[in-house]
Amino acid sequence: MKKFFLISFSVLLLAGCSEKKAYEQALLERIQKEQDVKDYNIAPEAMAKCVFDTTSTNMPGFFTYDPYRRLTYERYTKMLNAEKAPDPKKAFEELTTLFGSPKNLSEAHSNYTESVMECYSLITDTRTDELPPAESAPAPAPAK
């Protein structure tokens, strides 16, 4: 019985890893294309990790390997890859069906967008805090 439980749990973890990795990869590919990441010289990997962590905290499911969370990772991956679809209308209809309603799809997209904005803020604020203090400008000469 213990062996069966251990094997079942291992399969569950491995299956959960594939959805998680696919979502992380889709995030990285999407973020590498963003102009702001290039303009601000942000490492795409750091940004993708931040967005992954932030979106994951607002996803349904209790933990990474929860079956419902795994399903959510799969849905988010399809949402991020929808721009690659040859027929955008059909892709939107499929996403609406996967998420259950247009409202749920909108909430997922908002979760992603808010996470991206939060990560931009977090990363750029952190980088600003690490900069050395600016040298003070010399005091103007007194008027004679």
Window from 14-18, 55-59, 108-112 with minimum mean pLDDT: 14-18
Residue extents of the structural domains in the chain: 2-125
CA-closest candidate to residue 104, choices 94, 113, 95, 115: 95
- pTM equals 0.76
Specify the range with the lowest mean pLDDT, choosing from 12-21, 55-64, 69-78.
12-21
Separation CA 91–CA 76 (nearest Å): 13
Q: What is the DSSP letter of 61?
A: S
**Mean confidence (pLDDT) of the chain:** 84
C-alpha torsion sign, points 103, 66, 45, 134: positive
Residue 70, token pair as written in the block: 């795994």
61: left (phi over 0), alpha (psi -120 to 50) or beta: left
State the pLDDT confidence band at 64, using cuts at 50, 70 and 90. Answer: confident
For the chain, give the percent of residues with pLDDT over 90: 64
User: What is residue 39's predicted lDDT score, i.e. its pLDDT?
Assistant: 93
